[in-house]
DNA sequence: CAGATCAAAACTGTATACATTAATTTTAAG
DNA sequence: CTTAAAATTAATGTATACAGTTTTGATCTG
């Protein structure tokens, strides 16, 4: 664990003068935020994992300032918790909290369906079906990927409403839902979800709001209950190790 | 508008050594966040007002670091908007956005009522009635105060659910609702709200969920439509001037 | 060897410095 | 005069320094 201040050289450094703008600058906080978020949702960072500002900073090659602002955001959306002078940690919701979150989620997704009616076009259905296809494809591979995609299906629906606030709220409950499944979910819990997504799409195509709402509700109850027994919490790993996979955000 | 870097002496300064811990330290960001939030909700900071980090900082006697983190939070909850390298400004939602927000709010408050049924106790009703009383009292005085109290009634209901997430979401839509009324609301628009609050309480006391839901819906529609014509936007004032009233958060 | 004690190390909270980018004003040209 | 370009000022993005707090770990005691 020797992480002296000298080794932030791995990204933004070098003798050359033109280093610096790894991602065109001005975006570092956003990038760290996004990466941490993904890492949490994909279960790479298990609930309870400590997030010391400078360790995270060195992982991404940025200063604490940047990490700090990312963490403030994550705390604001409940993915990370933090007490006054103490290290931030990945949230680890209790069963009670988990249930409360899923209740809110059910309400929000009902709203999504209501907003969606009479707004859905053929192109939307195409996208939904395409997404389900990729869900099916991922099902056989990685579990975290599968959970993430399953959540993104719901996010996609929300996005079709065009209601910014609703999108953000759904996005939050979906994220936290993933976190919860990571905590309490038993493996393969996302398997059957694909069929349920398909059934939902069909109800929407028929313009049957009540049926869609019923299916959605059933689906969410299923997702919520499917998981809540097995408390097989994930084992430890090095923070540096985990985050190294989330560093190179895309461009050279 | 001479606010040179030298005049942050107005608050945290002085020859005495023991200044510094105005509120026991560790809380500055929280305090600035809360204060700005209140200032926005009470219409002291009109939509569109610029919030340069160091001006705000000098107003509160803190550094940009602190202000920055407060602003990140406000941006996260939509009360403030900010583009990459540009000054943050108090959000100024369009009519379209305003309507979208109120739609979400209606859904959320319906959820509140559902969670509330069979959970309400006599003490709750007492508190609700007490709150309405103070609403009535404030009605004759300041308009901003009145708007704030009206919002807090809804927040109170949400708090009785004990559902943390729901509370936060309601809190956000209520805040933004206040902001919207500040922007588009005509004066005295909150007057009739008091009666509507009372009617709602009674329906709840009778355990009549559907009636309560109907009243709530009606109420919110009324609040939303009551305001949306007059575009009498507030005139300019000095930022320093406005914020000076939000400084001394309470303790000595 | 368990448990308390205290010092070192690790972190957070906050301020400040500096590089960059946006806003504004000045200057110059048409 | 009006408008465009350049220079100035203001504000943000990021890193770093330092004070104060928590955590860790080592040492001492029963």
DSSP letters, B36-75, are: HHHHHHTTSS-TT-EE-HHHHHHHHT--HHHHHHHHHHHH
Average pLDDT along chain B: 81
More confident site: B110 or A5: B110
Q: With an 8 Å Cβ cutoff, is B164 touching chain A?
A: yes
Contact yes or no for A104 and B78 at CB 8 A: no
Q: What would the pLDDT profile of A126-172 be if each residue is shown by its tens digit? A: 999 999 999 888 877 777 778 888 899 999 999 999 999 999 999 99
What kind and span of H or E run contains A184? helix A164-184
Q: How many CB atoms lie within 10 A of CB A196?
A: 18
B169 → closest Cβ in A65, A163, A169: A169
Which residue from B69, B67, B230, B84 is spatially nearest to A26, judged by alpha carbons? Answer: B84
Q: What is the pLDDT of residue B165?
A: 98
The answer to whether A111 contacts B107, with C-beta atoms less than 8 Å apart, is yes
A12: CB within 7 A of chain D nucleic strand: yes
Low-confidence residues of chain A: pLDDT under 50? 1-24, 229-235, 249-252
| Nearest-angstrom CA–CA distance, B227 and B210 | 26
Backbone angles phi, psi at B44, to 5 degrees: -70, -35
Indicate if CB(A19) is under 7 A from strand C. no
Nucleotides of C under 7 A from a protein CB: 10-17, 20-23
Confidence at residue B228, expressed as pLDDT on a 0 to 100 scale: 58
Q: What are phi and psi of A88, to 5 degrees?
A: -70, 145
More confident residue, B186 or B233: B186
Question: Highest-confidence range of A41-45, A174-178, B70-74, B113-117, by mean pLDDT?
Answer: B70-74
Q: Round to a whole number and report the distance in Å from the CA of B141 to the C1' of C17.
A: 48
- The pLDDT-based confidence of B238 (bands split at 50, 70, 90) is low
pLDDT at B64: 97
Residue A21, number of CB atoms within 10 A of its CB:
11
Cβ of residue B89 lies below 7 Å from strand D: no
In this complex, the answer to whether residue B217 has its CB under 7 A from any atom of chain D, a nucleic strand, is no
Assess whether B87 (CB) lies less than 7 A from strand C: yes
Q: Is B100:A165 a contact under the CB 8 Å cutoff?
A: yes
Q: Which residues of B touch A104 (CB under 8 A)?
A: 111, 163, 165-166, 169
Residue A81's φ and ψ, nearest 5 degrees, are -120, 155
CA A48 – CA A20 distance, rounded (Å):
33
% of chain B residues with pLDDT over 70: 76
> What are the CA-CA distances from residue B192 to residues B37, B71, B136 (Å)?
25, 34, 10
Across the A:B interface, residue pairs with CB atoms under 8 Å apart total: 72
Report residue A156 CA to chain centroid gap: 13
- In this structure, what are the phi and psi dihedrals at residue A192, rounded to the nearest 5 degrees? -70, -15
Sole residue written with tokens 């664990």: A1
Quick check: A118 contacting B, CB < 8 Å?
no
Instruction: Identify the pLDDT of residue A202.
Output: 93
How long is the CA B52 to C1' D10 vector, in angstroms?
9
Nearest CA in chain B to A100: B163
Give the nearest partner residue to B163 out of A78, A100, A115, using CB atoms. Answer: A100
pLDDT at B104: 96
Read off the pLDDT band of B122 (50, 70, 90).
very high
**Range B193-208 average pLDDT:** 90
Scanning B61-192, the segments in alpha helix (DSSP H) are: 64-76, 95-116, 122-139, 143-161, 164-184
Would you tell me how many other CB atoms lie within 10 Å of the CB of residue A20? 12
Average pLDDT over residues B180-195: 72
Distance separating alpha carbons of residues B168 and B151, to the nearest angstrom: 13
3-state secondary structure of B237: coil
SS3 A50: strand
B26, B27, B169: residue with CB nearest A104: B169
Is B165 in Cβ contact with A100 (below 8 Å)?
yes
For β-strands B50-51 and B88-90, DSSP reports them as: antiparallel
Give me A164's structure tokens.
């910014």
Residue A36, token pair as written in the block: 């941490």
Closest partner residue to A166 (CB to CB) among B26, B85, B104 is B104
Using the Cβ of A66 and the Cβ atoms of chain B, whether some distance falls under 8 Å is answered with no
Domains of chain B: 5-92+233-244 (1.10.10.10), 95-227 (1.20.120.530)
B150 confidence band (pLDDT: 50, 70, 90)? confident
Q: Does B72 touch chain A if contact means CB atoms closer than 8 Å? A: yes
The secondary element (H helix, E strand) that includes residue A80 is strand A80-81
**Residue with smallest Cα–C1' gap to D21:** A85
Give the pair of three-digit tokens for residue B231: 């575009």
Which position has the higher pLDDT, B28 or A222?
Answer: B28
**CB-based contact B132:B157 (threshold 8 Å):** no
Q: What is the DSSP letter of B186?
A: P
Cβ contacts (< 8 Å) between A100 and chain B: which residues? 163-166
- Cβ neighbours for A69, distance < 8 A, ≥ 6 positions apart: A29, A33, B68, B69, B72
CB contact under 8 A, B164 and A97: yes
Which pLDDT does position A105 carry in this prediction? Answer: 94
């Amino acid at each position: 664990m020797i992480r002296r201040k000298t080794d932030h050289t791995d990204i933004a450094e070098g003798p050359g003068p033109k280093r610096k703008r790894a991602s065109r600058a001005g975006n570092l906080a956003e990038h760290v935020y996004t990466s941490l978020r993904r890492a949490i949702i994909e279960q790479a960072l298990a609930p309870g994992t400590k997030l010391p500002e400078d360790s995270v900073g060195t992982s991404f090659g940025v200063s604490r300032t940047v990490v700090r602002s990312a963490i403030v955001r994550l705390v604001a959306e409940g993915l990370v918790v933090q007490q006054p002078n103490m290290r931030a940690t990945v949230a680890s919701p209790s069963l009670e909290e988990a249930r409360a979150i899923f209740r809110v989620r059910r309400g929000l997704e009902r709203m999504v369906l209501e907003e969606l009616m009479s707004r859905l076009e053929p192109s939307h259905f195409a996208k939904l079906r395409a997404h389900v296809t990729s869900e099916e494809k991922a099902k056989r591979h990685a579990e975290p990927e599968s959970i993430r995609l399953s959540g993104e299906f719901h996010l996609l629906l929300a996005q079709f409403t065009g209601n910014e606030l609703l999108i953000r709220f759904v996005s939050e409950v979906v994220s936290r839902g993933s976190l919860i499944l990571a905590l309490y979910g038993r493996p393969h819990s996302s398997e059957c979800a694909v069929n349920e997504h398909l059934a939902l799409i069909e109800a929407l195509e028929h313009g049957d709001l009540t049926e869609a709402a019923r299916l959605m509700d059933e689906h969410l109850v299923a997702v919520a209950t499917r998981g809540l027994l097995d408390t097989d919490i994930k084992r430890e790993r090095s923070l540096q190790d985990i985050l190294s996979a989330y560093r190179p955000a895309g461009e050279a």
